[in-house]
């Protein structure tokens, strides 16, 4: 994995602009701690930070190909999981390769198929290709948006980078927040609108899209989308197809020239992937290392709730012993979580969900000591329709994103004039309606089936991007690559049209996946009900947040005071608010402390 940054200027010579380009790549150095590279020409400046995973000697970037007097230059972040097949196909078409890297395969695929080359890729990637032959920049992103890519147009310039912080290093990109951006932050939370980068006049390349920029203008192109059609396979065929796709996907994603490990929570998703990977390791005479996360006093403090039914650790041990992994459980105290709360915000350049992101970052930091690459079960719930909301009428019939139904507390803390300017309910409804307009419907479905398809679309296109952002930034902040087999676009395409009742066969969420893992996992593990990512229950965590928020409120320079109602925040921080208390207070304080630091550290100018 890596980080890319640069810009195109159609009117000015960039040959001497290495200083700015290096500042842009330095901002994302943690994404690629192993090497740096630069290429500058008359109209292009491309920079790269490298995390070496495949072909240490041959994968240096930006990578160039010269045709006549013109260069085609590639800066790329990601992995191609089908690069060996593509390489052989391209060799048959007459292409010659100097390295064993997937980067060179991507470059030659572009040379062979031009813009259509993205339709030949299977992987996680974000890239920038400058083609001097046509003086055109092409920016592209993988099918599900696992790897990030942002851009900002400034006249004849297009500035781009893996993270927003790299764009902000360019002198023509400023940190500004307007009404729409603030509505995203307070109305949608971390689950922002695809393509919306929150900062004014900065955009995101959407998943499954590419952007071209030349003297002819800028064009946005969608090369992949979900297509609704009747699912004709019977249950047995469906189970076998899912199993084969997962086996193929995991095997592809085990390719690495650096140590690889697997995340293991004891839940269905990570356990199944660990079992497949563990089998491959065993056949090669190796033992798969696995990692899980836990918290100090978790057993004593644990309480069941809507999303967490039982403790993970006993199940982690069960799976590790069954598969035969070398397991390590990493345990964190509450004060460590408070101390590192702002790190994920700095990684994402945006406020996030707090403790859950913090613990993930700390886990990756520990894993990085032993490895460079990990497998993760992320996204299975989104693509297999595994959340409880899929069968609850309140959520199925809502005219709002299901995860926002109980977000009313956010508007309570805003000043009256800010509430009036933003009208968060209207903004939430607008964004929901826009998502509905994209939905590929299937004629002939029952009303309930149509609602479940709609719910699935919302989770895949609106909720999953947040989960992938969280994982990418938390891992890359530590120079660590996380692969997500459940995001293989072939699997997602297939699952999209499986009826919800078949996905939930045996009257249990993700029942079809449980059947696919038969033989890989013990029955008690396969039938364990969903339990969400673990969270600390230690009262010391909330106490730390309360103390911190009171310090913020006592500082008249705190930027949050220009937006939020100080009296309400004091009530919450003192544990005196009649509604926002306990776990509700934790989640809100997590978020607001990040917003305050974000506005301050990024020196954001509010334009309301």
For residue 258, give the 3-state DSSP assignment.
coil
| Contact status, residue 159 vs residue 137, Cβ threshold 8 Å | no
| DSSP alpha helix (H) spans, 133-193 | 164-168, 179-183
In b/e form, how buried is each residue of 179-199, taking b as 16+ CB within 10 angstroms? bebbbbbbbbbbbbbbebbbb
- What are the DSSP calls for 348-409, one per residue? HTS---THHHHHHHHHHHHHTTT-SEEE--TTHHHHTT-SGGGG-HHHHT-SS-GGGTT-TH
In degrees rounded to 5, what are phi and psi of residue 198?
A: 75, -55
Question: Cis bond leading into 335, ω under 30°?
Answer: no
Instruction: Identify the active-site residue in 2, 188, 211, 404.
Output: 2
| DSSP alpha helix (H) spans, 384-496 | 393-396, 409-412, 416-422, 424-438, 447-458, 464-476, 489-496
| Contact status, residue 175 vs residue 184, Cβ threshold 8 Å | no
* Closest residue by Cα to residue 326 from 283, 374, 287, 371: 287
Three-point CA angle 295, 298, 304, nearest 5°: 125
* Long-range interactions of 233-236: CB distance < 8 A, separation 24+: 235/502, 235/505, 235/512, 235/515
**Which residues, including other chains, have CB under 8 Å from residue 368's CB and lie 6 or more apart?**
478, 479, 480
Q: How many whole angstroms separate alpha carbon 539 and alpha carbon 584?
A: 13
Q: How many whole angstroms separate alpha carbon 102 and alpha carbon 87?
A: 8
| DSSP alpha helix (H) spans, 57-146 | 83-92, 102-113
| Contact status, residue 477 vs residue 347, Cβ threshold 8 Å | yes
For residue 23, give the 3-state DSSP assignment.
helix
Strands 209-214 and 136-141: antiparallel
The beta strand positions in 296-355, using DSSP E, are 326-332
| 2 belongs to the catalytic site | yes
Distance of CA 408 to the CA centre of its chain: 25
Q: How many whole angstroms separate alpha carbon 450 and alpha carbon 441?
A: 7
* Closest residue by Cα to residue 291 from 385, 376, 403, 400: 376
Q: How many whole angstroms separate alpha carbon 294 and alpha carbon 363?
A: 10
Q: How many whole angstroms separate alpha carbon 173 and alpha carbon 160?
A: 10
**Hey, which residues are catalytic here?**
2
């Amino acid at each position: 994995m890596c980080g890319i940054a640069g810009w195109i200027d159609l009117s000015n010579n960039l040959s001497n602009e290495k200083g700015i380009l290096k500042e842009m790549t330095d901002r994302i150095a943690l994404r690629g701690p192993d090497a740096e590279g630069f290429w500058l020409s008359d109209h292009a400046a491309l920079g790269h930070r490298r995390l070496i995973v495949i072909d240490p000697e041959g994968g240096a970037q930006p990578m160039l190909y010269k045709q006549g007097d013109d260069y085609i230059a590639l800066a790329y972040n990601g992995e191609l999981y089908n690069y060996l097949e593509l390489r052989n196909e391209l060799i048959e078409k007459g292409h010659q390769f100097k390295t064993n890297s997937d980067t060179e395969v991507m470059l030659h695929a572009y040379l062979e198929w031009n813009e259509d080359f993205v339709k030949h890729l299977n992987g996680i990637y974000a890239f920038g290709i400058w083609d001097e032959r046509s003086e055109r920049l092409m920016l592209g992103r993988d099918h599900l948006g696992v790897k990030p890519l942002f851009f900002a147009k400034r006249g004849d310039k297009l500035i781009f980078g893996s993270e927003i912080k790299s764009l902000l290093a360019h002198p023509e990109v400023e940190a500004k927040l307007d009404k729409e951006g603030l509505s995203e932050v307070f109305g949608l939370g971390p689950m922002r609108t695809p393509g919306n980068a929150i900062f004014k006049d900065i955009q995101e390349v959407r998943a499954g899209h590419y952007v071209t920029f030349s003297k002819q203008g800028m064009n946005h192109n969608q090369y992949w989308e979900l297509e609704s059609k009747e699912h004709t396979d019977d249950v047995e065929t469906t189970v076998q197809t899912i199993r084969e796709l997962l086996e193929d996907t995991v095997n592809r994603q085990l390719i690495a020239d650096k140590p690889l490990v697997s995340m293991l929570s004891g839940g269905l998703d990570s356990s199944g992937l660990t079992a497949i990977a563990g089998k491959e390791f065993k056949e090669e005479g190796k033992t798969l290392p696995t990692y899980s996360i836990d918290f100090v006093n978790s057993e004593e403090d644990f309480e069941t709730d809507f999303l967490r039914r039982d403790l993970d650790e006993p199940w982690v041990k069960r799976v590790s012993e069954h598969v035969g992994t070398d397991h390590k459980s990493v345990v964190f105290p509450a004060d460590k979580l408070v101390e590192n709360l702002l790190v994920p915000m700095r990684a994402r350049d945006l406020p996030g969900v707090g403790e859950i992101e913090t613990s993930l970052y700390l886990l990756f930091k520990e894993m990085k000591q032993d490895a460079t690459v990990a497998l993760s079960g992320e996204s299975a719930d989104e693509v297999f329709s595994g959340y409880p909301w899929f069968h609850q009428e309140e959520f199925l019939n809502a005219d709002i994103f299901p995860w926002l139904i109980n977000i009313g507390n956010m508007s309570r803390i805003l000043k009256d004039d800010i509430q009036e300017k933003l009208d968060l309910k209207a903004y939430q409804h607008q964004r929901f309606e826009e998502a509905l307009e994209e939905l590929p419907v299937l004629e002939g479905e029952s009303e309930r089936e149509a609602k479940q398809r709609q719910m699935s679309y919302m989770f895949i296109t609106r909720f999953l991007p947040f989960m992938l952002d969280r994982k990418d930034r938390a891992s890359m902040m530590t120079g660590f690559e996380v692969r997500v087999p459940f995001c293989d676009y072939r699997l997602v395409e297939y699952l999209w049209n499986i009826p919800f009742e078949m996905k939930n066969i045996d009257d249990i969420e993700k029942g079809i996946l449980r059947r696919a893992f038969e033989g890989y996992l013990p029955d008690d593990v396969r039938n364990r009900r969903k339990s969400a990512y673990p969270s600390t229950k230690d009262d010391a965590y909330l106490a730390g947040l309360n103390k911190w928020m009171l310090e913020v409120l006592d500082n008249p320079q705190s930027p949050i005071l220009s937006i939020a109602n100080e009296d309400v925040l004091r009530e919450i921080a003192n544990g005196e608010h009649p509604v926002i208390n306990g776990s509700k207070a934790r989640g809100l304080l997590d978020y607001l402390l990040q917003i305050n630091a974000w506005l301050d550290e990024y020196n954001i100018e509010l334009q309301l």
